[in-house]
Structure 1
Amino acid sequence: MTNSFYDLTIPALCGQPISMADFKGKAVLIVNTASKCGFTPQYEGLQHLWSKYGQSGLVVIGIPSNDFGQQEPGSASEIQTTCSRNYGVSFPMAAKSRVKGKEATPIFRWLAKEGGMLALPRWNFYKYLVSREGELVKWFTPLTSPDSSRMKASVMRAVMDH
């Protein structure tokens, strides 16, 4: 088991693996995503956060998963097309991964360890905010939209806290 957020690497949807070490000193918002979910339009709000706060030190990472309701059945290219064409997503996207159970990708095992049982994703679009120091500071269920004042306030605090 890894000790530090910065020890984690995840396979990218397209291209080189995504290393959390590259984001030292930045706030990171990790989201388990799906293309065929009622919450899929949240991609738009996530892109807005990335556009608005990226220059200030926020990184948004989408991690597609088919774990809930088989709502991410697509291949990497289909996921990429959905994200870019339908929602204008330009933030980093990981390869489709398991986010629950024993086969969960290491980043979600780390989030579970840091956040406890309640933080485990129970559906698509759980959001995890990691501080500039690599600590889980807050997590949100799918019911908290990226556009919500609660979410924006937490992101702003994480981005401005340095």
Structure 2
Amino acid sequence: MGRIRWLDGLQGIAAIVVAFNHYFNGEIQAPFRSFWDDPPENNRLVFQLFPIRLIFAVYGMVPFFMVIAGYAMSAKFLRLSYTAGSEIFLFHHLQTAAIRKFLRIYLLVLALAVLSQLLYFCGLFNWNFPDNVLRGTKPWKSPREHVLYVARYLLDNMDIVIFQWNEGHNGQV
């Protein structure tokens, strides 16, 4: 039995909602607020009501995405454990799946973090970041600080070491 297509569809919808939020959250704010927020005159809009509000419910979509992903992965391994009949076979598939997932996700994060820091070092970002985000990194100054910033960011991202101040360039994450 292959992939569960309707779960893939739900994961896709959740991912689109999150991407939509990351793109528009700083520009338009009304859809991301609740119908019952204060002041009432700014928040009694039709698209803030259920079910239209689900399109903008990013804080619910990230856990939803993770739960669906966990269910899909565990369903696959449960099917393997019942059909294979061998714990070694199941352990091998679990091990290779974990390694593939790690490489697929964190190599991309590593590449994007290094690329964004390289672009910032070269002065190609024209955004003004708060000092608590930059932590001493400046364009064309001290490559060591930029390398340390990326290392701290990646360690914090994987929850190996938790730096409470490390917000990254995207304040939503």
TM-score w.r.t. structure 2 length? 0.22
Q: Which has the larger radius of gyration?
A: 2
| Greater length-normalized contact order (CA 8 Å, ≥ 6 residues apart) | 1
Higher normalized helix content (fraction of residues): 2
TM-score w.r.t. structure 1 length? 0.23
